[in-house]
């Protein structure tokens, strides 16, 4: 372990000199710019994802032109191992599994991302998402009644022992194609001659086997040196209340009744940092933000006796990390309310309408066998129905034999029967053709603009997609208001179309815009907004992800109000010098304000809201039950470097070189390990790794 930096150094020397002696004069050496790897994740029993060897994997570039062409890679080609370059149409389960099964001839894969979505649909996710987290009887469990994601080919859950990268279709990939055409392409079946074009990918992963193993290695690492190998997936749940409750008092709140209005905050795809989740995540999230905004005035004026808790759950993709944590906290009296306070759940799922005007209200057939639960569910559905009528929408229930689709509500039901409804755009199987893939993007949700608009004009342009989501938000807001005991005719509750459009633009097209900049808080002024679609992958526990920061600011700003106080007071959670009480009820954030057009200083302001964050880390890590089957156990491996490059190699020496270096590295590390462990007492005076440590 300690020998690694040294061996890498040796390797690089050998490698660089080796290649430069053998390379031809016009050698090209292209480092990829925008490469996105597939990384390793681990759960209680498996490791999934991809990795290279420590020193990077090298192979002869092969551009796969069709599936028949695969033979060259799998058997007939004379120069294995190959680095296979795939056009996205060939990134299918069948091709990938063939490559996986002959991994001795495959050094790695790069997939060229297309500029338009595949019309046939594509989902690398499981066909039965989160199936292990559901506690149904056999007739409903494991998608027995309905396979939710029929296009799901499960590639995201496979393990590959070679690196897989995604590349943008740009000049780099063009150079690779050219390099292949010029040097590697077999002409009339004859063997291509050296020099050949080769590629090297680095994505070595530190963690192996499963979560229990890597957590054990982490704890050993902690006592010796700070080299962690994996981290639990985690972030925060974000919520706000329609009426302030004392957050310092945890546990049961006598007399309080709370409706949980939920949406999910995360998504994923096969590759590490592309998870646009336009329909799977953003449609519900943006709708719920608009609902919270639309209800701000009405809920404050009407003084409802039921509180609405707008909740955004994180990590739901990975066996419901966020919702399971909230339920766990409620059960342990570590939350501001407990499960007895929960009146009902209304969840907004995938609600992209694609021009349609029909929504489906899903409920849980098992808990509805209890008549009092059923009664409440019927009431809820009635509210949604009457609010839909006034908007020319139609809402319907699917058949009663169908299970509840994957949703955060599942985790509440697992604790106890609670009335609730999940709003979706599908009757049975998902209509989303790109579930948890990189194609679930703004194009798919029809967030499109007339040509020629500047970014500022796009921000203020109300798209059709926004109009339709705003209607959904109005529907949900009105129904929620009645559900919370409000008088449905007293207020004209209406979601703001411009707000929805700006939110969609900000999450799916360009987070780095003048409007989002207003809410940027002083505390995290260094938080950066990206220039492309938001990545909704949850990531690891240490830092808040971009969508988390954005949703938190937006929710605070949309539900809260501006108070006249100094930045210092604001950051110290008080309204004036003597204020000691309001921090129990409100949370204050300082926003930097809009940039005045004439270039003078921004004028900041303090937003007071009930918006808070609570941990969204699986209870399995709290309980240190790394083999739990009740809670999510997903961790993400650490890595040192992710990079890739292509170059020319002059001869067969490539293979010899790789072999030679491999043997060299092995011998060196053996020697170093031997040396270090024999001299460990001298080298490390603090503690010592037990010699029989097995990991």
Ligand X SMILES: *[C@@H]1O[C@H](CO)[C@@H](O)[C@H](O)[C@H]1NC(C)=O
State the residues that interact with ligand X by CB under 6 A. 43-46, 48, 126-128, 132, 138-139, 144, 154, 157-158, 171, 246, 248-249, 257, 297, 305-306, 485, 487, 489-490, 512, 515, 518-519, 528, 530-531, 557, 562, 564, 581, 584-585, 596, 598, 600, 629
- Classify 311 as helix, strand or coil: strand
CB nearer to ligand X: pick between 102 and 154: 154
CB of 542 to ligand X, least distance (A): 20
Output the CA torsion sign for 611, 614, 616, 619.
negative
Q: What is the DSSP string of 418-480?
A: --EEEEES-SSS---TTTTSTT-STTTTT----TT--HHHHHT---HHHHHHHHHHHHHHHHH
Residue 279 and residue 505: Cα distance in Å, rounded?
Answer: 14
CB nearer to ligand X: pick between 19 and 151: 151
Residue 520 and residue 16: Cα distance in Å, rounded?
Answer: 46
Residue 261 and residue 263: Cα distance in Å, rounded?
Answer: 7
CB of 93 to ligand X, least distance (A): 10
Residues 6+ apart with CB under 8 A from 242: 295, 299, 300, 304, 307, 308, 309, 310, 484, 559
CB of 319 to ligand X, least distance (A): 7
CB of 659 to ligand X, least distance (A): 31
CA 258 distance to own-chain centroid? 28
CB of 30 to ligand X, least distance (A): 11
Is the distance from CB of 114 to CB of 170 less than 8 angstroms? no
CB of 308 to ligand X, least distance (A): 13
User: 368: which 2 tokens?
Assistant: 């509805």
CB nearer to ligand X: pick between 278 and 589: 589
CB nearer to ligand X: pick between 171 and 333: 171
CB nearer to ligand X: pick between 227 and 494: 494
CB of 601 to ligand X, least distance (A): 9
Q: Which of 553, 557, 512 is nearest to 534 (CA)?
A: 512
CB nearer to ligand X: pick between 530 and 678: 530
CB of 684 to ligand X, least distance (A): 36
Angle at 24 between CA 21 and CA 30, to 5 degrees: 95
Is the distance from CB of 264 to CB of 235 less than 8 angstroms? no
User: 539: which 2 tokens?
Assistant: 């990531």
Residues 6+ apart with CB under 8 A from 331: 338, 339, 415
CB of 694 to ligand X, least distance (A): 22
CB nearer to ligand X: pick between 148 and 647: 148
CB nearer to ligand X: pick between 576 and 641: 576
H-run or E-run covering 378:
helix 371-389
CB nearer to ligand X: pick between 402 and 658: 402
């Amino acid at each position: 372990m300690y020998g690694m930096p040294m061996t890498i150094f040796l390797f690089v020397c050998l490698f660089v000199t080796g290649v430069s002696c053998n390379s031809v004069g016009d050698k090209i050496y292209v480092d990829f710019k925008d490469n996105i790897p597939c990384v390793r994740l681990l759960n209680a029993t498996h490791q999934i994802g991809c990795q290279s060897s420590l020193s990077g994997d090298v192979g002869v570039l092969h551009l796969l032109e069709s599936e028949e062409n695969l033979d060259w890679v799998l058997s007939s080609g004379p120069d294995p191992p190959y680095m296979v370059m795939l056009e996205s149409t060939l990134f299918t389960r069948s091709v990938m599994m063939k490559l996986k099964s002959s991994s001795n001839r495959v050094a790695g894969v790069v997939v060229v991302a297309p500029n338009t979505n595949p019309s046939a649909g594509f989902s690398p996710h499981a066909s039965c998402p989160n199936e292990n987290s559901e506690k149904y009887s056999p007739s409903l469990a494991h998608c027995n009644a309905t396979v939710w994601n029929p296009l799901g080919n499960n590639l995201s859950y496979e393990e590959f022992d070679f690196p897989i990268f995604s590349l943008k279709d740009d000049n780099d990939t063009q150079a690779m194609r050219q390099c292949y055409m010029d040097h590697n392409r077999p002409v009339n079946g004859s063997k291509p001659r050296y020099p050949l074009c080769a590629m090297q990918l680095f994505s070595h992963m530190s963690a192996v086997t499963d979560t229990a193993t890597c957590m054990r290695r982490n704890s050993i690492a902690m006592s010796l040196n700070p080299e962690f190998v994996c981290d639990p997936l985690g972030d925060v749940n974000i919520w706000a209340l329609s009426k302030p409750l004392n957050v310092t008092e945890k546990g049961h709140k006598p007399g309080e009744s709370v409706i949980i209005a939920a949406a999910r905050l995360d998504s994923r795809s096969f590759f590490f940092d592309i998870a646009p989740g336009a329909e799977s995540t953003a449609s519900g999230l943006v709708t719920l933000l608009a609902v919270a905004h639309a209800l701000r005035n009405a809920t404050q004026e009407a003084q409802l006796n039921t509180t609405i808790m707008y909740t955004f759950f994180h990590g739901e993709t990975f066996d419901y990390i966020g919702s399971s944590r909230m339920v766990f906290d409620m059960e342990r009296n570590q939350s501001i309310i407990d499960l007895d306070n929960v009146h009902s759940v209304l969840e907004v799922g995938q609600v992209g309408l694609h021009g349609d005007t029909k929504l489906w209200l899903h409920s849980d057939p098992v808990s509805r066998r209890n008549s009092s639960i059923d009664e409440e569910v019927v009431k809820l559905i009635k509210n949604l129905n009457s609010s839909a009528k006034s908007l020319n929408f139609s809402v319907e229930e699917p058949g009663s034999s169908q299970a509840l689709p994957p949703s955060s509500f599942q985790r509440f039901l697992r604790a106890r029967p609670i009335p609730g409804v999940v709003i979706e755009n599908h009757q049975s199987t998902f209509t989303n053709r790109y579930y948890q893939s990189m194609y679930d993007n703004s194009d798919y949700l029809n967030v499109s603009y007339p040509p020629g608009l500047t970014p500022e004009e796009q921000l203020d342009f109300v798209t059709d997609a926004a109009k339709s989501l705003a209607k959904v938000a109005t529907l949900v807001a009105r129904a929620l208001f009645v559900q919370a005991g409000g008088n449905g005719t007293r207020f004209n509750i209406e979601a703001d179309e411009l707000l929805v459009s700006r939110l969609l633009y900000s999450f799916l097209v360009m987070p780095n815009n003048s409007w989002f900049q207003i809410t940027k808080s002083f505390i995290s002024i260094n938080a950066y907004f990206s220039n492309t679609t938001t990545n909704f992958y949850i990531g690891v526990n240490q830092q808040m992800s971009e969508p988390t920061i954005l949703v938190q600011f937006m929710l605070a700003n949309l539900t809260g109000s501006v108070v006249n106080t100094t930045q210092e007071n604001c950051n110290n959670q008080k309204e004036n010098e003597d204020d000691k009480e309001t921090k129990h009820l409100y949370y204050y954030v300082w926003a930097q304000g809009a940039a005045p057009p004439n270039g003078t200083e921004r004028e900041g302001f303090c937003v007071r809201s009930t918006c808070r964050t609570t941990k969204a880390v699986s209870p399995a890590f709290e309980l240190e039950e790394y083999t739990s089957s009740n809670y999510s156990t997903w961790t993400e491996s650490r890595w040192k470097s992710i990079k890739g490059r292509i170059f020319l190699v002059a001869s067969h020496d490539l293979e010899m070189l790789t072999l030679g270096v491999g043997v060299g590295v092995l011998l060196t590390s053996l020697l170093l390990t031997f040396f270090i462990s024999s001299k460990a007492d001298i080298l490390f005076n603090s503690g010592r790794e037990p010699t029989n440590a097995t990991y």
